[in-house]
Structure 1
């Protein structure tokens, strides 16, 4: 009997050694905690895990000192739980040889009979879970970064496994189709989510460009989404949805713009055709008008002698009668009538001369007769002729005519220009005003003649059109002054034929200055006046 018990004991000891060896080979530490004796039996690998320099039996205080102080209470609590209920499970860190935390996962079971105070011994194993914990932390960190990245994009995103269960999604996916809270959750089935999402879809069509796995859907709330589905290597699927509402709106606007453009092009083509027809009609009318105007100008130019000769006779005979050269007329009224005839004839001759000269210029038949001209003598001669009218109008004349070099010009035409400018100044300057006629030299090649008055002035909007033929400015003097409106147009044309330039400066209520620049020497080429003269004008500074 005793020999049999000893055999059983040896067999048990051998079995326990084999068990411990197998556990050690699996990198598991073995420990046996005698709660009642306060001793812990640890294997070689367990001693290595705990950082204890020997295996075997050691006081539990030595064992507990290796555990991080913050986790010692947790180990004691697990030990008490095992003493009461028989199972032991706890995780705690111990410092390794480099001072870093080594995490140990210890599990065990009470042995023997349960006494009045509970179990007295717990046997268990321990695993080094440091690397597992680190890998898990890294995986959690990577998953967190993945989630943050997915949430940061505006596109909806959802990932399903090969069984069609949801693994990962972002808030944009839930918002895109209006899923209720809690519907989109981990493990939800793809077909269930598709059924709910279909309620929010109004229509769908293949994506532009024919991309594989892509389609465009219009939602009932008016938004547009582009859905793209791709499959993973393990049989799962990834679905992304981008909001393309703005793109669709732009496309619709662009289509409307194209339609409007086509309509505009059609309208422009119709207008162009009508304008082309109108232009052809206008061209024909212009050709006829130009021919008529040319014929008129040539007729008037050719009629110069025929119109002037009778008027010269009328003026000559009326002048003889008014002077009673061959004796008294017999009654004073006859003498007055003769004077009126002479005045009217002279005025009519002046108007006809202006019209005929303008016609000659337009017809290109007015020829300048160049000669050496003294501007000082020319101005003095013109002012002498106009002095009577100036005094009769109650105006003051000032002449500033220094000696200047003689210029090459048409004496008659230039005298007519100065007389016209002085005559205009007299017409539009109220009684008591001043008229200034001045000469100046600009440089070695040009001189300037200016006629200034303190008359009624001219508005800026009227300046530009005054030098056009037959143009007059409406005002308080327009009803009391006579003329054809050819004076300034003829003046400008004569100046341009001389190679000069006319400039007007005026301000209503402060007067007008008309000046022109002339070259001292005759231009090398004949200068033609513009058919529709445009005066260079500017408002005078206040």
Structure 2
């Protein structure tokens, strides 16, 4: 019920809040500021009050027990003194001493005053040797009359040993007690008074104090809980109010509308925050004057003075009008205000309460709709098709001039509202020749057909039902399309014949594709065989080269020994000549075997480079010295243009083998009195070497074969130069292992140029190539 009331009240929360803040703004702000502190202070005060009550009750109970104990001590002290005095007088008045227990026991009750008899109180008379002479009451006397058998020695005898002083003691049953002893000189002996402390600590007075304190605390707790409950409800109400007001503000802002509360009696108007947002004004919580609002209203649209007079006089009780208000940026905002007259129950003041909705977009949309309607009519008029629109009662709504000319209709027959029968009677309707079937799901009331006019023209007419029950019809001139249909039929026949030819060609292509697939499979098999044979060849060459080098070393060694005559002359000059031939042939064969072994290692991928920093110019000089003897024998000119220092990271043996092989080929294939040129050039990241000769040259068709193992320009039947054909292949392979390249240019009868490009750092080049 409370939530429903809060939800109903939150609808007008903005108006109420604005009115309240305008009337009592300082008090309202002070209340809002002090409310959180009050909510925190009240529980704290309640808890402090409860703690104070509990402490007061505890102090009161403790004080009552203290007073009760003090009274009890005074009574015990007085009683012990009186009994000691009476026993002393009684013993002194008699001649014989009262040492008989029965006699003393019978006299002891008479000696106790009436106020000295109390529950839990024991009076004991002992002799000098601590024997019990008398006791009151006597209901608990046993056979053993020694005090040590009744109470604890440490608690009874030691404590009362100080005459006239009270002492605490512990009874055999575990209860506490107070004991006092007084000396009776004439007996001689002692009077001991014991008071059991078995009464409950919470007496009637303590229970009353605790009850009053508990009742007061309970009442305070109830009041605190009521305050907390009411505060929680108020906080929940505030949260609900804020949430509902936030939702209303959000809805008003999103809906572009605002709340109005016009106090007609005082001439003040309250606006919601969304109303200020609509007009671009700065938000205010106070009320607006009538003059401020009237200054923003377009006077040509509405007269607020006249409306106020009519509302006050009772001529109208609500308003529903549209007018314009000026935005802060200068443009006008269209608003539609719907308000109703309401009378306040407190002071009977008249209020006009309602909402103002921004209809600027609707106004703009209406204008655009009119413009769109005009554009639509223009578009329908300009289309080349005949267009007509009928309503649900088959009356003409709209048509263009193409429809009028096509059916030869007068202007009077195309006026809006003309019936369908009248148009048919006046105009010339086409004759339906072919009805076309709709593709897909047919729409209800839709049809498409082709019709022919009297003059031979063809129309494609499409009719569709509209949502209001009418239908729209569009006629398109398809005379040219009909003229092309025959051509299309002829083309279709030709296409069919072409398709037959294509199918025949496709069959032939499929057969050829099968043959190509068979050939590809055979090629793959042959390639695999060739690779296996090449691997077997490389393995065979490696094994055979290794096996041949051992006997060749012996042949070369022994031929050198025989030729030098180390162990004496051979006896004939022919033997000397034969030894020289054997040595020369053995060295040649060893060089060939070494080349074969190097080539097989390269092809098998077992050639490892030992990269190190070296000076390429020194390697070139050493290579030139190797071939200088043969060049001098053929009277060749060695022209070297080498830089003094060429730092490079490479394999010393491989680089030397490359240069020596190329220089040996240049010397070998250059006729006498020829020329061999060596050039070097250092670039940023590579070194370029050129080795040129004026030899016999190489034909262009043979350049592609050179560089492959065992490839030579001359055949075995016509060759005039010795060699295995591996020197150039080894040089190219070693260059590639360094990450470089080798190119050849040659011309028959002119000479050959070999260009070698090596990276300055073979390690980095190989890493880049691998990446």
Q: Tell me which protein shows more helix as a share of its residues.
A: 2
